Amino acid sequence: MRKTKGVPREKTVAKYRTLFNEVADKKNWKYPTNAKYVASKKKANEYAKAINFFVGGSEIKKVKPRIYVVWSAGYYHYIGA
């Protein structure tokens, strides 16, 4: 079993899937994601890692002093389709 920083890969993938499912397009996960607003840079980075894992890219933007928005242009965008 492969580990990611001491965490079994299966747990990491399960965590990423849970976070990604919150923002993924319900009709097609390869489409652009919905924007997710969070209250910390750490949480924004967690969502970005999850989105990156599934679709290959994401964006984080600071919109207020302690508010960040995370989104992705989608899998098709990042593969150049």
Which residue range(s) make up the domain with 26? 3-79
Q: What per-residue confidence (pLDDT) applies to 9?
A: 82
Q: SS3 for 55?
A: helix
What distance lies between CA 59 and its chain's CA centroid? Answer: 9
Determine the Cα–Cα distance for residues 19 and 9; give it in Å rounded to an integer. 15
| The predicted structure's pLDDT at residue 10 | 85
C-alpha triplet 6, 67, 52: angle, nearest 5°: 45
pLDDT of residue 56: 96
User: So what's the pLDDT on residue 37?
Assistant: 98
pTM to 2 decimal places: 0.88
* Torsional class of 72: left (φ above 0), alpha (ψ -120 to 50), beta (otherwise): beta
Domain count, the chain: 1
> pLDDT by residue (tens digit) across 2-60?
555 666 788 889 999 999 999 999 999 999 999 999 999 999 999 999 999 999 999 99
pLDDT at residue 2, rounded to an integer: 55
